[in-house]
Amino acid sequence: MAGKRGKVQEWLTDVLIDQLTRPLPRYERRGWNDLEALHRHAAPGDVIVVEGDQRISAVIRYLTQSSWSHAALYVGDELLHRDEELRAESLACFGSDAHHMIIEALLDGVVASPISKYQHLNMRICRPHGLKPHDLKKLMDEALRSLGWRYDLRNILDLLRHLLPPVTPSRFRREAPWLGSAVPTEVICSSHLGHLFRGVGFPVLPDIEPLDESERLPMGQTPRGLRRLFTRRNAAPYPVRFRERHPSLLTPRDFDLSPWFEVIKFNTIADAGFDYDRILWADAGPPEAGEELGSS
């Protein structure tokens, strides 16, 4: 009986995945992606957020009120610097794309993919500001070790329910401490990255609460004299305490909204080459100098 129930559950899961991953009938491009510029500006440790073109992408975008439905970690050519077997396998599978790779959690699990797969979708680079070299190395190591982790379908379904407009009054609701299976090696795209950044102590979008007066130390101020002897060396330099959210509660938009991730406009602005006077307008173009808007 248990075996039959398992087969039915597996069949229902396959049907659900098939429905969720079907392409949308229409997809609106917001611009073009210069792949060479993307290769030039993306750096290991960057988070790539993507506006996907599947049904599940539209659901996530609607519920999060955001353009972004997927997130991946850029690792560049890290796969080529590990061991000869992995290097040979990467070059055989991806060719020159092996120098510009991402690690992402898909329905098939955590895999390495060329960043070029998203060239024709709307995307953005979000860079963790000031990530220290030793933490970046640890981040890369952990990302590669996560290859093969399973996708937590329960997490994505819980997250969709969590994001639905509440029908129960807030005083009767309790926030879930985490979503999904609670198995560390089962993740969705955003929880995968949340686990990795939590491992190096880098904030994504934590809750914050003010410190007591006794805990505060103005930014840039170093205690002097006798006070220095009685002030903890690890006194918090910020006037708030960070309270971590469980990675399973994160969504792709959180990396864009986070004040600790920089947005890199890689197409034209990052190269300081944008000049709006060079735009070839398909319509009549902007009004001439001195012409009033709305005049006939």
DSSP secondary structure letters along 90-130? HHHHHGGGGGSEEEEEETTEEEEEEGGGGTTS-EEEEEETT
Query: pLDDT value at position 115?
Result: 97
Q: What is the pLDDT of residue 179?
A: 81
pLDDT of residue 130: 96
DSSP 224-292: -HHHHHHS-TT--SSSEEEEPPPGGG--THHHHH-TTEEEE-TTTGGGT---GGG---SSS-SPPTTPP
Q: What is the pTM of this model?
A: 0.80
Q: Are the C-beta atoms of 255 and 261 separated by less than 8 Å?
A: yes
Domains of the chain by start residue, with CATH? 12-166+176-206+250-273 (3.90.1720.10), 210-243 (no CATH)
* pLDDT the model gives residue 172: 40
CA dihedral 90, 92, 96, 101 (to 10 degrees): -20
For strand 261-264 and strand 101-106, is the pairing parallel, antiparallel, or unpaired? unpaired
CB 126 within 8 A of CB 57: no
Q: Print pLDDT tens along the chain (296 aa).
A: 556 656 665 676 666 667 777 888 888 888 889 999 999 999 999 999 999 988 888 888 888 888 999 999 999 999 999 889 999 999 999 999 999 999 999 988 999 999 999 999 999 999 999 999 999 999 999 999 999 999 988 887 787 777 776 654 554 444 567 687 878 899 999 999 999 999 999 999 998 888 776 666 555 555 555 555 445 455 556 778 888 889 998 999 999 999 999 999 888 777 777 888 888 888 765 556 555 555 54
DSSP code per residue over 122-181: -EEEEEETT--HHHHHHHHHHHHHTTTPEE-HHHHHHHHHHHSPP-S-GGG----S--TT
CA-CA distance, 152 to 163, in Å (whole number)?
Answer: 17
Whole-number pLDDT of residue 58: 84
